[in-house]
Structure 1
Amino acid sequence: MKLKLLYSDLKSDLDVIEKELAIAVNSSSHLLNEASLHLLLAGGKRIRPVFVLLSAKFGNYSIESIKNVAVPIELIHMASLVHDDVIDDAETRRGRETVKAQWNNRVAMYTGDFLFARAIEYITALENTYAHEVLSHTMVELCIGEIIQIEDKRLLDQTVRDYLRRIKRKTAILISASCELGAIASQADEKTIRHLKRFGYYVGMSFQIIDDILDITSTDEQLGKPAGSDLLQGNITLPVLYVKNEQSIYPLLMEALDGEISEENKQKLLSEIRKSDGITRAKQVSNMYLEKALNEIKQLPASSAKKSLQNIALFMSKRKF
C-alpha cells in the first residue's frame, strides 16, 4: 500500500496547503522564487502537514485556521533540507538536483533562511501565543541539531545516547511539533495535546532510525541518491554505531570516514554492515519507539483520525524504502 492512500480523505485539504505553499515561497526576487519553487516542486510526502491536519481533527477543525500551522511546518522542513544539502554537499535529493547543485551554496543558504522567515510570518496568523513559542523553540532546536551533527561528523567516539539526542533535534521534534500545533490550533483539550505531542516525538524517532537503516540497506534507485550517502558524509548512524569496532568493518569504516574509500570497498562495507547484527539491533530500537507511539494513540478518543495516525505510524516504521 502507498502512504498517500492512508490519508486520501485529506486530499482536498492538502491541495489547499499545496496552493498556500506556492504563495508562501513567492517573493520579489526572481532568483529566490526559482530556487524556492525548485524545492517545492521536488515534492515529498508532505507527511508533516498530514500530521498537523489529523491532529487538528481532535478539536474544532477548520482548514482556514489549520493551514496557518501546516504551511509553516512544511516551510521549516523544506528550509532544513536545503541547509542539510549544503552541509552534506549533496548533489541530489529525491532523484532531483538540490538547490545548491543547481545554483550554489549561497543561494541555497539564503533560500533556507527565506523559508524560515516565511514560516514565522505564517504562524503569527494564530492568536495563540503558545503556538508561536512551540514553533520558535522547534526552530531553535533544529538549528542546534544541525550544529551538533556537524560537530559529530566522522566522530567514532560517540554513544547511542549521543545519536538519539541528535535525531531528536534533527527529525523527531518537528514531527512532534506538527502534532502538537495541529491540536493547539484546533483548540483540542490539554490531555489530547500532550498525547499527540508525545506520539509525534516517538514516531519521529522511529522514522529517523528506519531512514538511517534504509540508507545502508536500500539501492541507489530506491533512495534517489547513492546508498551509504550518510556514511560517506561522515554521519555515524545507529546501525553503524553498533558494529563500528567489528574486525571486518572497522578498517573499511575508517577509509570511508577519511573520504578515501573506493567504490569496491564502499560496496564491501555496506555488505558487511548489512550482514551484521547492527541492522537488527537498530530495528529493535525503532520498534520500541513505535510501540510507545502506538500507546499514546490508544489514549485518544476513537475516530477516523486516530486510525489514520496509527496506520501512518505503522507504515512509516515498517517501510522498506
Structure 2
Amino acid sequence: MKLTDIFWPFRSDMDYIERELDRAIDTKEPVLQKTSSHLLKAGGKRIRPVFVLLGGKFGNYDIERLKHVAVSLELIHMASLVHDDVIDDAELRRGKMTVKSKWDNRIAMYTGDYIFARALMIATELSNPQIHKILSRAIVDLCTGEIEQIRDLHNWNQSLRNYLRRIKRKTALLIAISCQLGALAADATPDVVHRLYVYGYNVGMAFQITDDILDFIGDEKKLGKPAGSDLRQGNITLPALYMYHVSPDARCFRELVKENRVDEMIRVIRESEGIQVARRLAERYLTRAAQALTPLPDNKSKDALLKIARFIGERQF
C-alpha cells in the first residue's frame, strides 16, 4: 500500500493545494523565492493537508475554505524543517541538499521565518477565533518541543516521559490539529472534531515513533539520510533509550556510549529488542487512533483515515 493509492480519490483537491502552496511562497525577493521553492520542490508526504481535507469531509466540505487551513499547516511544518536542519547541521533531507547546506545558516533561518509568517498571513483568511487559538497554541508547543530537543541532546538520563512529551509537541500536535481544524473549518459537530483530534494525536505519535525506528533500520536511499542520523546528532530516541536503560545488555551499551563508539551503538540498537519495543508502542497508538474513529459514520474519508493509520504502521520510509 502506498500513500498515493490512499490519496488517489482526493488527487484533484490535493493538486489544487499544491498550487496554492506554490502561490503562498511567491515573493519578489529572489533569494527567498529560490530557497522557499527549493524546499517546496524537495517534496514530502503532504500528510497534514490530506488530514485537513479528510477532516473537512465530516462537515460542510468547501475546498476554498479548507485550503487556508491546509496550506497554513503545511507551511508551518516546512518552516520547522528548515529550522531543524540548522539546529541539526543537516546536509540532506529526503536525499536533497537542505537550505542551510545549499545557502547558509542565516539564509535558512530567514527562509524559515518567512514561511512561518506566510502561514500566519494565510490563516487570517479564516474568521473563526477558535481556529486561531488552536493554531497559535500549537505553534507555541512546537517551539517548546524544539527547545526541549535541544535541551535533551546527548542526554542519556532523560525518561520515556521526556521523549513522549517531546514527540507530542514536535510532531503529533500538528497532525492532531490538522484533523481537528479540517473538521472545525467545515462546521462539523464538536464530538466529530474531538474524535478527529484524538485520532490525529495517536497517529502522530505512531508516525514519529516509526520515524525513529526507521532512522536505525530503514533503507538509506529511501530515507534520504544515513542510518542513525538522529543518534549521530545527539537526538536520543526510543530504541536507544531502551538499550541504555532497560536492555539486559544496558551495562555494555553504556560503555559504548561512554567511549562515544557511535557506529557500534547503532549496530547494537539495530539488533536489539528496542526496535520491537518501539514497534509495539507505535501499534498501541494506532489501535487508539482506529478506536477514536469507530463511532463516526462509515464513508470514504473514514476508510482513508484507517488506511493511513495502517500505512504508518507498515511504512518503510
1:118 lines up with 2:122 in the alignment = no
| Counterpart residue number, 2:211 | 211
Residue 304 of structure 1, aligned match among 300, 306, 315? 300
Greater CA drift, 233-242 or 215-224 = 215-224
1:251 lines up with 2:247 in the alignment = no
Q: Distance in 1 between matches of 2:258 and 2:179?
A: 40
Deviations 1:208-234 (A, max 9, x none): 001001101113212111110000000
Conserved? CA contact 1:248–1:272, under 8 Å: no
Identical pairs, percent: 53
Moved over 6 A (4+): none
Deviations 1:205-263 (A, max 9, x none): 0110010011011132121111100000001100111111513422323444xxxx4xx
What amino acid maps onto 2:268 in structure 1?
A: E
Deviations 1:97-136 (A, max 9, x none): 0000000001111111111111111111111111011111
What amino acid maps onto 1:251 in structure 2?
A: E
Q: Report matched runs for 1:162-311 at 5 Å.
A: 162-245=162-245, 246-256=250-260, 261=261, 266=263, 268-311=264-307
Conserved? CA contact 2:215–2:230, under 8 Å: yes
What amino acid maps onto 1:112 in structure 2?
A: G
Segments of structure 1 that go 5 or more residues without pairing to the other structure are none
Deviations 1:121-152 (A, max 9, x none): 11111111110111111111101100010000
What amino acid maps onto 1:277 in structure 2?
A: E
Q: Normalising by structure 2, report the TM-score.
A: 0.96
Greater CA drift, 151-160 or 243-252 = 243-252
What is the number of equivalent residue pairs in this alignment? 313
| Counterpart residue number, 1:30 | 30
Q: Report matched runs for 1:57-76 at 5 Å.
A: 57-76=57-76
Q: Distance in 2 between matches of 1:248 and 1:275?
A: 14
Q: What is the CA RMSD across the aligned residues, in angstroms?
A: 1.1
What amino acid maps onto 1:94 in structure 2?
A: R
Q: Secondary structure of 1:244's partner?
A: helix
What amino acid maps onto 1:165 in structure 2?
A: R
1:5 lines up with 2:5 in the alignment = yes
User: How far did 1:269 drift?
Assistant: 2.2
Greater CA drift, 123-132 or 33-42 = 123-132
User: How far did 1:288 drift?
Assistant: 0.9
User: How far did 1:284 drift?
Assistant: 1.2
Q: Secondary structure of 2:316's partner?
A: coil
Conserved? CA contact 1:91–1:101, under 8 Å: yes
| Counterpart residue number, 2:144 | 144
Q: Report matched runs for 1:32-111 at 5 Å.
A: 32-111=32-111
Segments of structure 2 that go 5 or more residues without pairing to the other structure are none
Q: Distance in 1 between matches of 2:44 and 2:60?
A: 28
Q: Secondary structure of 1:320's partner?
A: coil
Q: Distance in 2 between matches of 1:217 and 1:300?
A: 36
